[in-house]
Structure 1
Amino acid sequence: MRAVLIGAQTYGLTGVHADVELMRRVLTDRGFTDLDVRTEERARYEGIREALARLRGAVRPGDGVVVYYSGHGGLSDGLQYLVPVDMGESTSTDFRGYLAEELTAAVRALTAVTPNVTCVLDSCHSGGAVREAAYESGLWALKSVRLPRVPPDAALARAALLAAPDDSLVPNVVRLTACEQHGSAYETELRPGAGRQGVFTAALADLLDATAGRRVPWSVLMARARDRIKQQQVLQRPDAGGPSGRLPFSLEEPAEPERLPLLRREGRFRVPGGALFGLGPEDEVRMVFPDDTARNEGRERSVPATVDEMHVGDAVLRVTLAAVPPPQADELSSAVVPPGSYALAIRVHDRRQVLIDAAGSFADALRKELARSPRLAETSEADKAFAVVRVRDGRPEVLNRQGQPARRPTDPAYADASRLTALLDELARGERVRWLRDPRDSSRLDAGLDVLFEARRPTGNGDWRALKPMGESLYDGDLYRATVNNRSGTPLYFWVIGVGLSGRTALVTNDQPSGYRTEPHTDRVTAPVRVYWPPDVPEQGPRPETVHLIVGDRPMDLSGLASREARDRSAHTADPALGALLQEVWDGVRDQQMDGGEEFHYRVWTVHADALPRTREAST
């Protein structure tokens, strides 16, 4: 187990060295034996490069690896970078910021040896962010800094050498960040006389200590960290990217049901944005509440509930307190939802129909699995089936509506009935997301905005062409993007959700899980996304490829719409040259309490296209 711990205490920060020492102790307790600590003069630009190069040379297959950074972060001139201690020595020909592209390349080199890599960044990613007045009192130090302007030519040239437009991202890296790309991170004195410390590092370390010996994945830890920081009244939002369903510092990823946000308003529990997650009246959910003592972190208690009504996109829950033991009933009467609480969808009424064209023990086992599924049901009518399961030559396969195999016959999902049911569940989920529509009630967003989808070939100088909502053809390798023009007078947030030709769903705007913020009267363009034909899908087409752009009036984590398997596939979809830092498909972290008190209003724009396996050049 190896780690590089970098602490660049610059421009007024005083808690960075304490952050590094705290993480050194936490990692040592977790079994790390090779820790390379870089602070003060060792945290210069060349020192950071040398540390990561040394780590790359020392790491061995199967090693657990951590890259940790505490200090200032910068975002300017289209560049994203960490701020080494010699940043002030930058010149027009020698930029001393450690670029996002450099960190991406260094981490990619590590994953070429071991997939067990965790990157933790406790820094602000927005140079010179606008501060709230409450944080200008001296109690809080912003981990972003306004630097004397250095011509960016040298940095841009260095970034261009490191990133190519079609580079894949780094699918195996767990990324834990103190805030959003354009957000702020802070350090403060957590206890009188103890000195300053990073708010995020302190919360993360405390939770790692509290859950030692328990099977608590990163996704849960980060949700708890977000809650703790919110309770401190800090305007800072930690995020988690990559395979955050893993247990800390391991490759083990427990099979966890998907978590939905849960809050309480006007005396009733709600799942905010429940309509987007497919909930409707009389659907059944389970509310899960963590134990409220540190020694029992990871223990949870659950209470069944039913969706009573939909209100402005939120699912309002009905709880029968008579069926709940008195201690829990008293807690449910409280006005406060415990930090880390969430909801699970148990039974929804949109049950997709499956035709089983088979007999024998495998078919019998599959029928038993479908009978237990909250989202699937067997049918004998072919025209009602969204999928057909048949057995040929003793081998099961799943066919889509067009009669095409959903996966290659050698796919491990066909190993037994339970795994095949999991595949059908994922395909059904993709079907539901594929036909996501504008809400027809008061949850519809009323704001002036325009949306444009465009596509182009990946090579050459072809111009971007506008995409129609229906009838377009996209080929393996084509690029598409979306532009949002916010004509309203308030900030809006948007997400791009893709339902690929494989039926998997992915959060395409993967570097901002809570939504891209677009300011009033401005345009914002997404990074180009590449149409990708997965190797486990037979090259038979056309197959449906759907792109949704969802615009809402508040930040909200929509990663619950993404398939777990889509994480690794979407490593091929974005363009790292645009400067996003270790972009990953976001997974597993949900809003446990929504910011603010208003309901979620949204609209949906969609392109339904046909995906074809041949490249456009090969088809002409």
Structure 2
Amino acid sequence: MPTRRALLIASSYGGLQGPPNDANMMKSTLEPFGFMITKCCDANATRDGILQALKRLAAEISIDDSVVVYYSGHGGIVESPLLEGQVTEGTNTTSPWRYQFLVPVDYHMSTPTDFRGILDIELSMILRSMTETIKNVTVILDCCHASRMVREPGLGDLAVSRSVPAVRWHDITKLASVLESSEYRPKGIYDEENSPFVCLAAAAATETAWEYRNSGGRWCGAMTEALARVLSDCRGHLISWRASLFRISELIKITFPNQRPYLTGKVDRHHFSLSESLTDGFHILNEVDAAVIQAGSISGVLAGNTYSIMNHGARTANTREQLAEAHVMEATSFRAVVHLKFSQPGITRLPDGGAIAFLKESVLPKWPVEIPPGIPWLEALVLGSRFIKLQESKDSGFTFATFHLQSNVIALHTKHGVEVTTTPVDGSQEGRLNLQRAVEQLARAQHLQGLKNDIEEEYLHHKTLIEFGILENSFSRRMIRDDGTDSLVENSYTFIRLTNGGSETVYITIFNINAVGKISRVSRIYGVELPQGRSEVILKRKNPPTGIQITWPNGVSRANPLEETLLFILTASAVDLCHLATPVQHPPPHRLGFSGLEKLTWCIASGCSRNANAVDDESILRYSTHRIVFNIMPDST
């Protein structure tokens, strides 16, 4: 009889406090799915202990079993100094230049001849041997490999990254060469195209994943907490990993806008199943009072989205054969009620067997906020917003901002506890509008901080060096690290230095995002034009040299440091992104040649929907982003 087995590995190396809690959280999440749980935690999570636990699992499985391998702890990365020995044939790298690894509790015992980490290819070898017996394998890794040991600035000591400092290339070459020369030569666990299993990772190779103390006071991995919520909500429903990634990412970004989970392998499989979703569309049916898409917010079907309705059998949408256009009026976790506008005269109803809904226009997810009970105008303010929503039970523990009632005054606080603004409960309409503007500005800033290009065809590969430093007496005093660990004192004068080491001109638009969500453009309207080999220093004034002053936000308490972000948007051609710094209430202008970046940033600025169809080749604007996060310390003088 088929058995569901889960191996939960938790390594608290380096002072992490969350892994044991993560393992318990996953145990509670997976047991209702029928999984038999085996733990490898604490002192047992050594290199040998983890490998032996994996091998025992591989020996126990039978052909129809399903397996979950879960890891919580630190990750690490090692790269060859000069990409030495790398040979690329098509998409296959015959000699890897980068290895990622897991960090067991005895990692500190590594020597030049005895590496105590577990390489990705080593783990992949065991997992792929499992898939020779069974096909239903899911791997979940709540760690990161970004070679950073940092604290998230806005949360201080309440958040820690899950990576260890980089190791030297020669430390792992002996182990790697043995594995690479084996008869069964594995590919890395993150091999996207040919992986026989599902792999969900907390972040991409060069990005950061976080553990933090959650609203219940317990340390946990940000991804594990979000994943546990989504899996529990989805139990009993056929939801693919690809679809549920939207909701997992949405929950993570409420607290960590820069962390993005990473999914590879059999991404269209339903949770812990071999069955798959065979289309990018969703089933839509006639019900008693309305047509209903048989998917909801878990899968990214949000109120405000628009869908093209096609007959069964369609693989994509096309205007000529479209049955109707559906606008989502209301969405729960798994259902979305729509208003239909039929495309052909005389048709007033969908086919009895239903149809397929393909995304046409999308809105950004709304951030959940808490409000005190019994204040109708405040509830109406939230319900009428394009950017925020009332926190529901499915959002509990994931709060973007809070409205507190204090002595007949409504105070808006960020997720970090910073008081942004206040207004009397029985105050003027203008006071209420100011409150709405403040919370919606916070929401825009949160979306902007998470801006990242995930579309390879539109990605700008560049070699631009971005530096940020403090200026004193017209000279550079020190550089600010870009890993989120650095700080400066309020009213410091700063400069930005940009150097283009690539072969093509880049344009760089720079924004400053402060602790209360104010977005200020630092660069010129169309960005800084930086041809090949050029360098430019950004100052407030160049003669005499005067830096850009970093000031404390008006009206904000100086009791604690504040988080601030510099966001750099690098593009292959000049583009006007000024709308990001000036809140707008209308959709973008209708014109030809509107790029994906412009659509997305207008969506962030206005809260309006954007066309989800692919951009034509002539409208592609290649871009990428870079951010420097730092703390502002109050001036004690």
Give the TM bin, normalised by the shorter chain: 0.3 to 0.5
Output the TM-score relative to the length of structure 2: 0.46
Output the TM-score relative to the length of structure 1: 0.47
Structure number with the bigger relative contact order (C-alpha 8 A, sep ≥ 6) is 1
Structure whose CA Rg is larger: 2
